[in-house]
């Protein structure tokens, strides 16, 4: 599902001339928010019920440049009444995969985790059913590992 598109702005570059880490996360966050809006989250009333990211794993796969046209694809990999397991892919024009992000989000209302509304869960189930046949993305569920030390 396509949820975000934009282009690389000059202020998004770091001292090496590459898009900064936080811009990747910002794009993926905007993609999550676009999904949440489709599910019925009203951001002006977020305290009454919205999703919060609890965990994120980013993979940076390729560089991009100022002016590059970008877009994301988003999948719901799994869900229950309180949680969403999301996977985003960031592409550049020509279809080059730049980065991926895997998120675990929790539904919260009034600062406590709780089940999403029936209407939201129906929308989640519909999206999930439409994406269920997609192949599992590479490295989904992986964790960062530090190499063992040798003494």
| All structural domains of the chain | 2-43+57-131 (3.10.129.10)
Please choose, from the candidates 69, 80, 57, the residue with its C-alpha nearest in 3D space to the C-alpha of residue 139.
Answer: 57
CA 129 to chain centre: 18
Give residue-wise pLDDT tens across range 86-124.
Answer: 999 999 988 999 999 999 999 999 999 999 999 999 999
Give residue-wise pLDDT tens across range 125-145.
Answer: 999 999 877 766 777 766 544
Q: What global pTM score does this model have?
A: 0.88
Cα–Cα distance measured from residue 32 to residue 75, given in angstroms and rounded to the nearest whole number: 10
């Amino acid at each position: 599902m396509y949820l975000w598109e934009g282009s690389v702005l000059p202020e998004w570059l770091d001292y090496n001339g590459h898009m900064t880490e936080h811009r990747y996360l910002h794009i993926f966050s905007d993609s999550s928010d676009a999904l949440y809006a489709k599910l019925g989250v009203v951001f002006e009333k977020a305290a009454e019920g919205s999703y919060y990211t609890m965990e994120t794993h980013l993979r940076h796969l390729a560089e991009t440049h100022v002016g590059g046209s970008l877009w994301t694809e988003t999948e719901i990999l799994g869900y229950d009444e309180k949680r969403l397991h999301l996977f985003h892919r960031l592409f550049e024009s020509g279809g080059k995969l730049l980065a991926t992000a895997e998120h675990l989000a929790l539904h919260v209302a009034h600062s406590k985790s709780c089940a999403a509304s029936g209407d939201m869960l129906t929308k989640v189930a519909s999206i999930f059913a439409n994406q269920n046949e997609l192949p599992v993305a590479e490295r989904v569920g992986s964790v960062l590992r530090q190499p063992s030390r040798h003494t």
